[in-house]
Amino acid sequence: MATTNDLKNGMVMVIEGQLWQVVEFQHVKPGKGPAFVRTKIKNVLSGKIVDRTFNAGVKIETATVDRRDYTYLYQDGNDYVFMDTSTYEQINIPGEVVGDARNFMIENQDVIVSMHDGNVLFIELPATVVLTIAHTEPGLQGDRSNAGTKPATLETGYEIQVPLFMEEGTRVKVDTRDGSYSGRVTD
């Protein structure tokens, strides 16, 4: 058991028999009345996101979540195959569980797999990943970084907006939380 004062982003708690992950939270101390915690939580199984308010200091039940380092190996039909980096044991995770993380995963990438009672809950990626632009329209002479953006398809098939001067084959840093362009990678 924990209290609302112990909340952290990514924490998994049990509410009415279901697992919910804290997406974001904010402690609020109004001038009048008791303090409370405003949260945005995501149902681990359905992916539904809801806003929920808790009184400050209220006890909440937390779920025991085992986070382990895995390496993404390859896609096998609708499943994704991962290898535990300590035991070298391989597991198949359905595409529904992998979710949007598939847009940013390339082979041999390190990820964190979160499990509860032997069931995979979700995949955690680093905040940013480096991917290569597989296709984009050519830039025009004189295009500058602040002149606008254009669509670019990454090596994973995911499409993002990049500055007009970007070309195919360029390696870019992508924010995995919202899928936005974060910068160009120079080797």
Residue 47 token pair:
């992916």
Split at pLDDT 50, 70, 90, the class of 44 is: confident
Q: What is the pLDDT of residue 50?
A: 92
Its sign, for the CA torsion 116, 119, 121, 123, is positive
- CATH code where residue 100 lies: 2.40.50.140
Quick one: 140 and 101 in the same domain?
A: no
pLDDT-above-70 percentage for the chain: 95
**Number of domains, the chain:** 3
What is the average pLDDT score of the chain? 86
72-76, 77-81, 124-128, 144-148: lowest mean pLDDT where? 144-148
Count of Cβ atoms closer than 10 Å to residue 13 Cβ = 20
The pLDDT tens digits of the residues spanning 51-60 come to: 999 998 889 9
In a domain, 6, yes or no: no
Judge whether 110 lies within some domain.
Answer: yes
Please determine, for residue 142, whether its predicted confidence score (pLDDT) is greater than 80. Answer: no
The answer, yes or no, to whether residue 138 has pLDDT greater than 90, is no
Instruction: Give the mean pLDDT of 123-144.
Output: 80
Structural domain for 85, as ranges: 65-124
Percent of the chain with pLDDT over 90: 22
Residues 140, 169, single domain; the answer is yes
Residue 83 is predicted with a pLDDT of 93
Whether residue 17 is found in the same domain as residue 49: yes
Q: Residue 147 pLDDT > 80, yes or no?
A: no
Q: Is residue 5 part of a domain?
A: no
Instruction: For residue 145, tell me if it sits in a domain.
Output: yes
> For the domain that residue 49 is a member of, what is the CATH number?
2.30.30.30
The whole-model pTM stands at 0.73
Q: What is the 3-state secondary structure (H, E, C) of 57-122?
A: CCEEEECCCEEEEEEEEEEECCEEEEEECCCCCEEEEEHHHHHHHHHHCCCCEEEEEEEECCEEEE
